[in-house]
């Protein structure tokens, strides 16, 4: 999660899992593939198919599922808040009126087995009753990253939007 642009006219932030973590997560594909090929050469066709197609397929689907990138753009000149999502399966972009964007907040969830909580950044739009909350990502993370992003968004809105809000 990092802010790309932070000027009075435009704020842009990207939310994504770091690439090195995604590559680290894909490392088991190499030994599973080698083990599957060894089984295939040894005549164990079913074991090889389970390893090569099943397990590697699960790794690849998991990679595709969590490799989503979200880019939030708050553009004062066009008056639009754009949430662009890109994954291995599809890309989409949603536009919202910037003057209806009230704030960014955190959605915290606690896991039952741990004392840690994970957070997601939500955009709060005040043009509906009750307020519409749009999550910026489909996954939550622990640590202070989501809080910093929400604070940066709120600071930009506070300093760069007109007082008539």
Residues in the chain where the model's pLDDT stays below 50: 164-165
Tokens of residue 160, six digits: 């760069």
Task: Please state the separation of Cα 115 from the chain's center in Å.
Answer: 23
CATH label, 2-16+69-160, candidates 1.10.287, 2.30.29, 1.10.8, 2.60.120: 2.30.29
pLDDT of residue 135: 87
- For 94-140, the pLDDT digits (tens) are 999 888 888 888 887 765 555 667 788 889 988 877 878 888 877 77
CA distances from 111 to 16, 64, 102, 141, 142 (A): 22, 24, 29, 12, 11
pLDDT of residue 165: 42
d(CA 17, CA 93): 19
| DSSP-assigned beta bridge partners for residue 162 | none
Q: 56-66 vs 29-41: helix axis angle to the nearest 10?
A: 160
d(CA 92, CA 95): 10
CA nearest neighbour of 138 among 92, 80, 75:
92
* pTM as predicted: 0.73
């Amino acid at each position: 999660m990092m802010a790309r642009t932070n000027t009075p006219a435009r704020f842009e932030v990207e939310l994504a899992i770091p690439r090195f973590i995604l590559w680290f997560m894909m490392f088991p594909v190499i030994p599973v593939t080698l083990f599957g090929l060894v089984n295939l050469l040894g005549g164990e066709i079913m074991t090889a198919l389970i390893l090569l197609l099943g397990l590697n397929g699960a790794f690849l689907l998991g990679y595709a599922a969590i490799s989503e990138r979200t880019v939030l753009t708050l553009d004062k000149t066009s008056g639009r808040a754009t949430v662009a999502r890109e994954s291995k399966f599809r890309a989409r972009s949603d536009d919202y009126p910037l003057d209806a964007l009230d704030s960014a907040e955190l959605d915290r969830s606690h896991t039952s087995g741990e004392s840690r909580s994970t957070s997601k950044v939500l955009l709060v739009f005040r043009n509906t009753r009750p307020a519409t909350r749009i999550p910026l990502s489909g996954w939550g993370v622990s640590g202070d990253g989501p809080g910093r992003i929400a604070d940066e968004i709120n600071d930009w809105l506070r300093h760069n939007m007109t007082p008539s809000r």
